[in-house]
Structure 1
Amino acid sequence: MYGCDKSPTSCRGDDKATLPRDARLPINRCNLPAVILGSLAYQRHPAPLLLDGIAELHRDLFRRLEAASDADRPDVFRDYMTVRFRLEWPEEVGLTGRNQARAKANYIKVIRGWSFDSDSGEGAVLKGWVESRFGLTPRYHREALRDPAGDAYRRYTEMRAQGLYGTNALEAQLDLLYTYCQFELVRRHGASRHVTLYRGVNRLADHEVLEKGAGGEHVVLLNNLNSFTCSRDRACEFGDYILAVEVPLTKVLFYCGLLPGALQGEDEFLVIGGVSSVVLSTF
């Protein structure tokens, strides 16, 4: 059984959930509740995460992807997104005049915006999408977010709303991006369930530490969406210390090679958060 409403300390030594109540919503839009998918148990024993209705509504896309070669699948996905969401014909979805400019706020623009600044409006949209779909609330956006009724959280929700306003089903585009990413990861990694990723930090105190252990091993609560890299050398460029994490592949929203040309360099991975066991070390 996954569930556990005890404190992180009382859950020590077992595989029960350790996600604090204030870091999750009671409902989400996938097949597992936030208390499970955001837990330490889930990091150790991941299971598939399925967004509600996406596979059923887009059977034709995944049929085409199954039939395509490795080299062709990114183009199949891009073409489907362009046609499905009328990305090159904004007037057909009612975006005219000044509102037509908002059509440019598509899934690629959002990912690029995050890459430049995770605390940008695009970052707020992505964190809001994770909150909506997986039930994991953001812990940081320009400032700590601890009180849903506080000013900091209000500023974050305003940025999220501004980022979504007048767009063409932007969160639905992100649903498909995540599902396509999972499709590719299964094809490329087979039965593997984890990938080792790294994050450069200047101090562990920048993260919410739930439990400190020996040898640099700690349990932390990550933000609901985070940037990691698959290159340890690259991670050291962003901080004096390196967090190494065994990330469930099911928590990868996007990685640099998924859509060639979308991002440049850094071997970046966008990773859904929750409670995680990490190893802190110096380079």
Structure 2
Amino acid sequence: MQTENHSTSSAKADGERDKEIGFVGVPTTSGAPAIPLPKSARLPINRCNLPAAILGSLTFQHAPVALELDGVKELHRGLFELLDKLDDVKERAHAFMLHMNASFFLGQPEQAGFTADSTLDRSRADYLRMVRGWAFDADGREGAVMKGWVESRFGLLQRYHGGPIRDFSDDTYRRYLEMRSAGLYGTNALEAQLDLLYTYCQYELARSHPGKMHLTLYRGVNRMDDHETLAQLDGKRRVVLLNSLSSFTANKERADEFGDYLLTAEVPLSKIAYYTRLLPDMLRGEEEYAVIGGLYEVGMAAY
């Protein structure tokens, strides 16, 4: 039995408009309804090989393909040719970090235009600081940068940052834009650094999980109403619209420390932006995975 709420009604209206431009959700093998990604949650353009209407759809969750950011592999072809020759994961991580440092002058900020008399020193605002800041506070400045990067590259709009974002003229959205701008100001091609981090993450996931398209990941939440539900499939499954970027974990036992309800999702590998074990000492914690948003069929259970 499918229940309808405001989000469901909005999705239906968006679905009618999508039919006019030729996009209709494809029924999934799990029996979930064909619900398109609402237009209010996506941009008409992005910087990868699939539009947001497709990569953010429920169909994509069940039948994903690889996502590639425009020009990243071509620009850094030498790095990935080197990685192909290395069998040890630690050696590959070391090679990646050396390449990142050399490409963006992370160890030589003066080569990137920073000067000692700058009124604001942002030389240390690099990709590592962004992911660490995201892990510490997803609603902080670094979190705003990460969510903004997803919006720019994948075309998925943020739905929450310190509060729900439904009206782009309200104070919550304005604060998000201020944080995002402050986080990017004076930095050294920060979003391009995140592009390369994502592309390397995808490379490592493909090598560590050959032939696999999904990982089963978990998220602890305090209130199910905090997630936009577009369809209630049965007593244990629902279709939700996730924020542009959300934290999940591979450790089911750790997930219950973060809320009274457990969400379980089959997450496409191509929608994992990074994970804690990707690089040495990048993050320490509960096997966190940063998951790119859109529509997801999730299981739910109370502890």
TM-score, length-normalised on structure 2?
0.88
Query: Which one of the candidate residues 258, 261, 271 is aligned to 2:281?
Result: 261
Alignment of 1:214-253 (within 5 A): 214-253=234-273
Q: Where in structure 2 are there 5+ consecutive unaligned residues? A: 1-12, 29-33
Map of 1:27 onto structure 2? 45
Distance 2:27 2:282 in 1: 40
1:87 to 103, 106, 128: 106
Q: Of 77, 90, 94, which aligns to 1:59? A: 77
Residue 101 of structure 1, CA deviation: 2.4
Change (3 A) 1:100 1:94: farther
Describe how 1:1-283 pairs up with structure 2 within 5 A.
5-6=14-15, 14-15=27-28, 16=34, 18-69=36-87, 70-96=89-115, 97-98=117-118, 101-283=121-303
For residue 102 of structure 2, what is the amino acid of its counterpart?
V
CA contact (8 A) 2:42 2:53 kept: yes
Deviations 1:49-83 (A, max 9, x none): 01000011110111111112322000000000011
C-alpha separation between the residues in 1 aligned to 2:235 and 2:25? 17
Residue 197 of structure 1: SS of its match in structure 2? strand
Shift in Å, 1:260: 1.6
Tell me the percent identity: 54
Give the number of aligned pairs: 278
Deviations 1:157-205 (A, max 9, x none): 1110000000000000000000000000000001100000000011210
Describe the SS at the equivalent of 2:235.
helix
Unpaired runs of at least 5, structure 1: none
Amino acid aligned to 1:31: N
2:80 is paired with a residue whose SS is helix
The alpha-carbon deviation at position 27 of structure 1 amounts to: 0.2
- How far the C-alpha of 1:94 sits from its partner, in A, is 0.8
State the 1:243 CA deviation. Answer: 0.2
Secondary structure of the residue aligned to 2:216 is strand
Q: Please state whether the residue corresponding to 2:54 is helix, strand or coil.
A: helix
Q: CA deviation at 1:215?
A: 3.1
RMSD (Å), alpha carbons: 1.7
| 8 Å CA contact 2:25, 2:35 repeated in 1 | no
Point out 4+ residue stretches in structure 1 off by more than 4 angstroms: 10-13
Deviation at 1:30, TM superposition (A): 0.2
